[in-house]
Structure 1
Amino acid sequence: MTLSATKLKHESKSYVLRKGRITKAQTRALNELTKEYLLDVNKDLSSLTDFIESSNNLIGDVGFGTGESLSYLAQACNKSSLLGVDVYPPGIGAALNLIDKQKLSNVKIIKSDIHYVLKDRLPDKIFNLLVFLYPDPWPKRKHHKRRLISEGFVDLLYKKTKTNGMIFCKTDWEDYFIEIKDKFGASPNWDRVRENKVPDFLKQIPKTNYERKALENSRLSKFLCYKAN
Structure 2
Amino acid sequence: MNNDRLNADDPGQDTSTVAEPPRRGIKSYVLRAGRMTAAQQRGLDEVWPQLGLKLEDGLLDLDAVFGRRAPRVVEIGFGMGASLIEQAETHPDTDFIGIEVHAPGVGKLLDEVDKRGLTNLRVYRDDALEVLTRCLPEASLDGLQLFFPDPWPKKKHHKRRIVQPAFVELVRTRLKPGGTLHMATDWEAYAEHMAEVMAEAPGFRNTSSEGPYVPRPEFRPLTKFEHRGARLGHGVWDLIYRRSE
Residue 149 to residue 210, structure 1, CA distance change in 2 (3 Å): farther
Residue 150 to residue 52, structure 1, CA distance change in 2 (3 Å): farther
Aligned match of 1:96: 110
Number of residue equivalences:
227
Structure 2 residue 85 is the aligned partner of structure 1 residue 71? yes
Aligned match of 2:243: 228
Aligned match of 2:5: none
CA deviation string 1:77-136 (max 9, x = no partner): 211111111111000111111111111111100111001011122221111011111011
Alignment partners' CA distance in 2, 1:159 and 1:149: 15
Aligned match of 2:40: 26
SS of the residue corresponding to residue 131 of structure 1 reads strand
**Could you tell me whether the CA contact under 8 Å between 1:191 and 1:227 is conserved in 2?**
yes
**CA root-mean-square deviation:** 2.8
Aligned match of 2:99: 85
SS of the residue corresponding to residue 53 of structure 2 reads coil
Structure 2 residue 128 is the aligned partner of structure 1 residue 117? no
Alignment partners' CA distance in 1, 2:65 and 2:215: 26
CA deviation string 1:5-51 (max 9, x = no partner): x9996231110001122212101211111111111222466676722
**Identity fraction in percent:** 30
Aligned match of 1:108: 122
Aligned match of 1:190: 204
Residue 195 to residue 66, structure 1, CA distance change in 2 (3 Å): farther
**Could you tell me whether the CA contact under 8 Å between 1:33 and 1:96 is conserved in 2?**
yes
1:203 to 208, 218, 227: 218
**Could you tell me whether the CA contact under 8 Å between 1:3 and 1:120 is conserved in 2?**
no
The structure richer in helix per residue is 1
* Structure 2 residues not aligned, in runs of 5+: 1-14
**Could you tell me whether the CA contact under 8 Å between 1:27 and 1:93 is conserved in 2?**
yes
Aligned match of 2:73: 59
TM-score computed with the length of structure 2 as normaliser = 0.82
Residue 174 to residue 3, structure 1, CA distance change in 2 (3 Å): same
2:50 to 29, 36, 40: 36
Residue 54 to residue 17, structure 1, CA distance change in 2 (3 Å): same
Residue 138 to residue 209, structure 1, CA distance change in 2 (3 Å): farther
2:181 to 148, 151, 167: 167
Which residue type is aligned with residue 36 of structure 1? Q
TM-score computed with the length of structure 1 as normaliser = 0.88
Deviation at 1:195, TM superposition (A): 6.9
**Could you tell me whether the CA contact under 8 Å between 1:29 and 1:97 is conserved in 2?**
yes
Which residue type is aligned with residue 141 of structure 2? F
Which residue type is aligned with residue 11 of structure 1? G
Deviation at 1:191, TM superposition (A): 0.7
- Range moving further from structure 2, 83-92 or 205-214: 205-214
